[in-house]
Structure 1
Amino acid sequence: MAFRNQLLAAASGIALLIGATAASAEGGVTDQDILNDAKTTDDVVTNGLGPQAQRYSPLKAINKETIKGLVPAWSFSFGGEKQRGQESQALVKDGVLYVTGSYSRIYAVNVRTGEKLWEYNARLPEGILPCCDVVNRGAALYKNLVIFGTLDAKLVALDQKTGKVVWKKDIDDFKAGYSYTAAPMIVKGKVITGVSGGEFGIVGRIEARDAETGEIVWKRPVIEGHVGELNGKPSTMTGKLNESWPGDMWKYGGGATWLGGTYDPETNLIYFGTGNPGPWNSWLRPGDNKWSSSRVAINPDNGEFVWGYQTTPHDGWDYDGVNEFIPFDLQKDGKTVKAGATADRNGFFFVLDRTNGKFISATPFVSGVNWAKGYGADGRPIYDPEYRPGDPSKAADGGKGKVVHVTPSFLGAKNWMPMAYSPDTKLFYVPSNEWGMDLWNEPVNYKKGAAYLGAGFNVSPNFKDHIGSLKAIDPATGKTAWEYKNNAPLWAGVLTTAGNLVFTGTPEGFLKAFDAKTGEEVWKFQVGTGVVASPITWEQDGEQWVGVAAGWGGAVPLWGGEVAKSTSHVNQGGSFWAFRLPKTLAAN
């Protein structure tokens, strides 16, 4: 029996090797296709419509005048009882649309008819520990593979034509609190991933695998004191041991890299955000706690840090730092600066030099930010100590510390939902929320696989008439050019186009379009459930199409407290909607 099992294992290994070789031989999505994705219009082969993830399309058949003719072409149901939050950005290649669904599912759909070609449904074990719903934010395409991650912290590569497994790898141990929800990224033939699980005392890291085989090339932990890996051997330590972490707390310091990254071919740098330090109770970990709540730049060839910038040193509010860093060219003082921008959960919109991480500016983009008074010329926050929750060790009863009301809430001025940048208007379009929280600290000890917070909270809206706010922000000044206010929180990504339009979704069930220059609402369509995904657009048969996944869920109904009441009436769902502008209408 043992010999038979060895034969089966060997045969399985040979089959995987053959599958990987076939992936290389058959062509499919190339590295050049990925680099050109922002310019090509007949496909969408990356998360973000290009490695820089500006989410801008040069398509312009759909514009303010023609959009009245945009009509639904088909709707594809994800089926079953596994609904909840649908946060996937779909991909389109060679007549096939690939979209992931909640509970770690992925579908291949005929992009013209909406007919299902195949489905892969991950067999999730008992005991998975996702923080913020059972979401999945999308896949990656490379050669003839479609690659996505699962909630039990695995990475799966499937054959694009059949949906059959080519390779499957463990990212980490789900029993220790690790999970995976982001869309992987392909850079120079490597699949780049992070890890989720920041509320369970895990250690964030970024790693690169050979996209055709799944074998590890390098690993880079983001918390100081941990040693990286290159070609199967230990490489360099991240930072300097105990430089900004006391004792052994760096060993379970958080910094989850749960959103994925961007890549800039001009600088040859990968940009990732890192999550909150663990635990939330900042009194237990004096110091900056590098490199949690940061943006980091990494050499894709060897996994070495090139620079890091900490948006919230010594984070005591779960402000995290994972939000996407988008490369763009900034016109400033008559010069063009290779810059990057990020809208942080902490309420500030940052512009950095993307070549070296040098601080350029930080401007509040929501109302009432009070944890910091601003940022100094050195790029460090000017804290207001009145808004850091009190030390529970000094509480008379040994319980929770002083309660503070701080803005924004831990759900963030902007959370995971990606913003977009238009090189036409030179504006960023930022989905934001206006809310605060009562926050207090509590005693806590680390235990593997257990929640590692040391805090309690209650989220509440800052205004009576709205929570969500789509803002058009000028990165040169930090000023808001226009704002659209939404009753419920905004939790969907944004798309902008050369047709002078901005698309996003709302929990109330609308896919909406706005004039990119003025913010005027010019179109909306009701899909029957909340929209918390990122829209895409592409061209086929001479027509421009728009698509978005639909299905209410995510962190708001789970963690939102009082603000969750604004969406208590929203039905769950699971579907993908495709819209088209017929040629005859586009020509009018």
Structure 2
Amino acid sequence: MSRFIIAAVASVIVSSAAYAEVTEDDLANDQTITTQVVTNGMGRHLQRYSPLDTLNKDNVKNLLPAWAFSLGGEKQRGQETQPLIYDGMMYITGSYSRLYAIDLETGKEVWQYDARLPEGILPCCDVVNRGAAIYGDKVIFGTLDARIVALNKDTGDVVWRDKIADYKAGYSYTAAPLIVDGLVITGNSGGEFGIVGAVQARDVNTGDLVWERPVIEGHMGTLNGEESTMTGELNATWPGDMWKTGGGATWLGGSYDADTDTLVFGAGNPAPWNSWLRDAGTPTEGNKGDNLYAASRIGIDPKTGDIKWHFQTTPREGWDYDGVNEVVAYTDREGNKRYATADRNGYFYVLNREDGAFVSATPFVKDITWSSGVDETGRPIFVEENRPGDPASAADGKKGEVIFASPSFLGGKNWMPMAFSQNTGNFYVPSNEWGMDIWNEPITYKKGAAYLGAGFTIKPNYEDHIGSLKAIDPDTGEWKWEYKNDAPLWSGVMTTAGGLVFFGTPEGEFIALDDETGEKLWSFQTGSGIVGQPVTWEQDGEQYVSIISGWGGAVPLWGGEVAKKVNYLNQGGTLWTFKLPKELASAN
């Protein structure tokens, strides 16, 4: 049955029923309303913490499968979605830009939407989608051809759709949208193709563009259809016309800090990877060659799109250390309002929430070769000999000096979201211990073609593990414990007031750890690698947990020697839902 017929049948079924609509209050209070999950990150601050404690350290061993849902078909690539839960329904996205509505009670499909993707899409790192947004009577998600689509959440009918950017130039979209005060806010993907990163805000009811903010200096923003302000200062940190194809993709989406009324987005790597082509100066000449605002976290006014502040984690970036990793708003043990972000470059940063100012940075991986530390301003102290060599200085001009860099370009932490526990005050960071041989090559920009100017091979740093889930005290940077895993970790993490830390492994295990000790308390084999994001909610007095299983993402595509290590893993596409039955909630 086609999705159009399914949607039509669903429309008839629901026409006589009154369905609840998601409000701004629902979004703002998502973390405390335990019967729903209506935001990516289980709260717009992305803490991924649930106050539910029915499921706890003593009874998690009694957690049982309730139902499983297969995504079906042959489109079983990486499944990285986070489920949304509302009014008896679950909404998940799938690879190849699909969206499903599932009955929460039975696990049966209500409707399915498949985007009609054109030939020639250019996704960098698998055909993944990380989730949807929900507001009013709409569920909204992005597609691999750089579009955004709003569907009726009850029927699957298209309400509106709009173009984010030109997919033929290398743009795509994979993140979950963010909704704040009636605006649906999106980033973009495509940094490996010389695109320009930007954040856009649309009217959630109509899809009309309200503002756009490019994140590379020299580009003009827009507000209500007219030019607003320039990003940065033209050629302050970029040479010549390099800024016109400067990268900085905002591909992981953003968070919202209600206390400061600020959107916080990360900007990815500058383009091309060959940093010598973007080098407008030397490290002693201030920020002349920093290539702002690539590899940065950026605070944005949600009403106008104007930039309020920025913090650059890797100036003059040359290892593909994207600055997109999630920024989590939290309050530390002394009552200070902070942001935390674990960067691909291997450092865990704490920033001030008022202005994004640097507070501290500590390593969260064991080996960092490109920098010897971070100074008092938060700027890295470069190890110049561990910068990939300049091809122009090579004898043949074709390949610069090969160096070994750690972490690898897939990062100390990649996209997979960490979690903060209000129970312990610690962050739980999924990380990977790997490095790479990397070298630079000559490159020129061509629309729709890869714009790297670099080659690389990823290698494990240790024989006994690559993946490493770490409990980190943000006040000190101390690692409280470490859980090692043979294969790279690529799933999101969730914490609960019951003292549990949930995550998945590429080997297919869905695991619950003790948040204070890291002891494994429960696990379930899902049958395929887990690269998705867990959620939990309460229904009829029982606590449920869901995770999607389906191996894929960037590791098998880009992982070099690491990819060979995990090439036996099977693909899949199954949403697993577990519950703690009432009669077992008190059983020890």
Aligned to 1:12: none
> How many Å apart are 1:378 and its aligned residue?
1.5
Distance in 2, Cα, partners of 1:330 & 1:241: 38
**1:182 aligned onto 2:175:** yes
Distance in 2, Cα, partners of 1:402 & 1:354: 41
Aligned to 1:321: 323
> How many Å apart are 1:539 and its aligned residue?
0.5
Aligned to 2:86: 93
Contact 2:532 2:547 in 1 (8 A): yes
**1:552 aligned onto 2:551:** yes
Letter matched to residue 486 of structure 1? N
Aligned to 2:231: 238
Letter matched to residue 389 of structure 2? G
Contact 1:492 1:533 in 2 (8 A): yes
> How many Å apart are 1:424 and its aligned residue?
1.4
Letter matched to residue 136 of structure 2? K
**1:264 aligned onto 2:263:** no
> How many Å apart are 1:575 and its aligned residue?
1.4
Q: TM-score, normalising length from structure 1?
A: 0.95
Aligned to 1:129: 122
Distance in 2, Cα, partners of 1:488 & 1:260: 26
* CA displacement 1:465-487 (0-9 Å, x = unmatched): 00000000000001100000000
Aligned to 2:162: 169
Letter matched to residue 584 of structure 1? E
Distance in 1, Cα, partners of 2:19 & 2:511: 39
Distance in 1, Cα, partners of 2:335 & 2:42: 23
Give runs of aligned pairs for residues 393-408 of structure 1, distance below 5 A.
393-408=392-407
> How many Å apart are 1:537 and its aligned residue?
0.2
Give runs of aligned pairs for residues 213-232 of structure 1, distance below 5 A.
213-232=206-225
Give runs of aligned pairs for residues 272-421 of structure 1, distance below 5 A.
272-286=265-279, 287-331=289-333, 335-421=334-420
- Runs of 4 or more, structure 1, over 2 Å off, are none
Distance in 1, Cα, partners of 2:508 & 2:258: 37
Distance in 2, Cα, partners of 1:366 & 1:27: 45
5+ unaligned residues in a row in structure 1: which ranges?
1-21
> How many Å apart are 1:179 and its aligned residue?
0.2
* CA displacement 1:190-232 (0-9 Å, x = unmatched): 0000000000000000010001110011100000000000011
Letter matched to residue 187 of structure 2? G
Aligned to 1:584: 583
Distance in 2, Cα, partners of 1:472 & 1:355: 26
SS of match in other structure, 2:189 = coil
> How many Å apart are 1:168 and its aligned residue?
0.6
Letter matched to residue 569 of structure 1? Y
SS of match in other structure, 1:373 = strand
> How many Å apart are 1:336 and its aligned residue?
2.4
> How many Å apart are 1:546 and its aligned residue?
0.2
Distance in 1, Cα, partners of 2:264 & 2:524: 35
SS of match in other structure, 2:420 = strand
Letter matched to residue 561 of structure 2? E
Letter matched to residue 90 of structure 1? P
Aligned to 2:138: 145
Aligned to 1:508: 507
> How many Å apart are 1:423 and its aligned residue?
1.2
* CA displacement 1:40-80 (0-9 Å, x = unmatched): 10000000000101000001111111111100011000000
Aligned to 2:282: none
> How many Å apart are 1:154 and its aligned residue?
0.5
Distance in 2, Cα, partners of 1:44 & 1:484: 27
Aligned to 1:70: 63
Distance in 2, Cα, partners of 1:290 & 1:26: 46
Distance in 2, Cα, partners of 1:493 & 1:509: 14
Contact 1:506 1:530 in 2 (8 A): yes
Aligned to 2:474: 475
Letter matched to residue 420 of structure 2? Y
Contact 1:400 1:443 in 2 (8 A): yes
SS of match in other structure, 2:336 = strand
Distance in 2, Cα, partners of 1:390 & 1:100: 41
* CA displacement 1:349-382 (0-9 Å, x = unmatched): 0000021111111101101101001110011110
Aligned to 1:422: 421
Aligned to 1:568: 567
SS of match in other structure, 1:68 = helix
Distance in 1, Cα, partners of 2:96 & 2:356: 37
SS of match in other structure, 1:336 = coil
Distance in 1, Cα, partners of 2:411 & 2:313: 13
Distance in 2, Cα, partners of 1:142 & 1:129: 29
Distance in 1, Cα, partners of 2:411 & 2:119: 30
Contact 1:280 1:452 in 2 (8 A): yes
Give runs of aligned pairs for residues 207-218 of structure 1, distance below 5 A.
207-218=200-211
> How many Å apart are 1:27 and its aligned residue?
5.8
Distance in 1, Cα, partners of 2:546 & 2:134: 18
Q: Give the % identical residues.
A: 64
* CA displacement 1:119-140 (0-9 Å, x = unmatched): 0001111100000000000000
Distance in 2, Cα, partners of 1:87 & 1:236: 35
Aligned to 2:9: none
Aligned to 1:118: 111
Contact 1:487 1:566 in 2 (8 A): no
SS of match in other structure, 1:208 = strand
Distance in 2, Cα, partners of 1:398 & 1:242: 27
Contact 1:271 1:297 in 2 (8 A): yes
Contact 2:20 2:87 in 1 (8 A): no
Letter matched to residue 409 of structure 1? S
Aligned to 1:32: 25
Contact 1:254 1:292 in 2 (8 A): yes
Distance in 1, Cα, partners of 2:19 & 2:92: 22
* CA displacement 1:117-165 (0-9 Å, x = unmatched): 0000011111000000000000000000000000000100000110010
Aligned to 1:528: 527
> How many Å apart are 1:565 and its aligned residue?
2.0
Compare 560-569 and 290-299 and name the one that shifted more.
560-569
Distance in 2, Cα, partners of 1:357 & 1:265: 15
Aligned to 1:5: none
Letter matched to residue 460 of structure 2? P
Letter matched to residue 457 of structure 1? F
